[in-house]
Amino acid sequence: MSDKNVCCICEKEMDGVGCSPTPFKFSRVCNTCDSYVSATRITLTPLVNSIQHIVGYEKTSSYLFEKIGLMLKMAHSLKRAQKEIDEEMIKEMKEDE
């Protein structure tokens, strides 16, 4: 059995089991993506708690963190797609020289 796992955000192979992306409902994340997850959690937890206090809806945090998690995945996908486009443009420019 291989001890390689794939980060659920950036989809890169990682050694070991990775990091827990709590409070997001993902599998595991790499150390790089865990920095984004941690920053998001630290920044948004007070906001979520304030919203829960005002709205009184117990599942507010789960809902918000789920949507933010999807946003992190989408942002990475867009970044990866842009990188692929840039690499293709550079390749074509070199071929034209």
- For residues 1-20, one letter each, b for 16 or more C-beta atoms within 10 angstroms of the residue's C-beta and e for the rest, the string is eeeebebbbbeeebeeebbe
pLDDT of residue 76: 82
Cβ–Cβ < 8 Å for 16, 5: yes
Overall average pLDDT of the 87-94 stretch: 86
What pLDDT is recorded for position 1?
40
Q: To the nearest 10°, the Cα dihedral for 55, 59, 63, 68?
A: 80
- pLDDT tens digits, 14-34: 877 788 777 666 678 888 888
CA 38-44-49 angle, to 5 degrees, is: 125
Give the pLDDT confidence score for residue 46 in this predicted structure: 79
Tokens of 37: 């997850």
**Six token digits for residue 82:** 């842009």
Quickly list H helices, the chain: 31-55, 60-96
pLDDT tens figures, 36-77: 888 888 887 777 777 766 666 666 667 777 777 788 888 888
